[in-house]
Amino acid sequence: MTPQPTVWPALRYDDAPAAIRFLVDVLGFQETLVVPGTPEREIAHAELTWPEGGGVMLGSTGGPVDPVHDAMRPGVGTAYIVSDHVDEIYARVKDSGAEITEDLTDTDYGSHGFSLRDPEGNSWSIGTYRGA
């Protein structure tokens, strides 16, 4: 059994429902929890888990002033995802029309991967490298 994640990257999106669809349908995250918000902040909180371990939290921009989350702007986040299915994910990303910022490559440190931007500009790298 995969242990529960203890580090959660957190992102904000102007269109959080569309971001969830992209992260689930294209990258392969699993929708774990989506908490509706207000008309100004459509998604108060969402958690998406990665099938190979880990996850990401996200929510909508807008709404009442929130000193913690209002400093987070869409399009400035970055995350690295470890996967044994890089080529499959790459094909889905390419089919989706998302911007690929680094094509599939094999590194000198043993990773096979690529990088992309999600529809709101956050940077994602997906590779086989699991860390030292």
pLDDT of residue 131: 86
Where does residue 60 rank: exposed (0-12), middle (13-18), buried (19+ CB within 10 A)? buried
Whether residue 69 is contained in a domain is answered as no
Report the number of distinct structural domains present in the chain: 1
Each residue's pLDDT tens digit, 62-109: 866 566 656 677 888 899 999 999 999 999 999 999 999 999 999 999
The residue range of the domain holding 119 is 10-62+74-127
How many angstroms separate the CA atoms of 48 and 121, rounded?
A: 18
| pTM, full prediction | 0.89
Whether residue 3 is contained in a domain is answered as no
Looking up residue 42, the CATH number of its domain turns out to be 3.10.180.10
pLDDT of residue 67: 61
Average pLDDT, the chain: 90
Tokens of 25: 């349908």
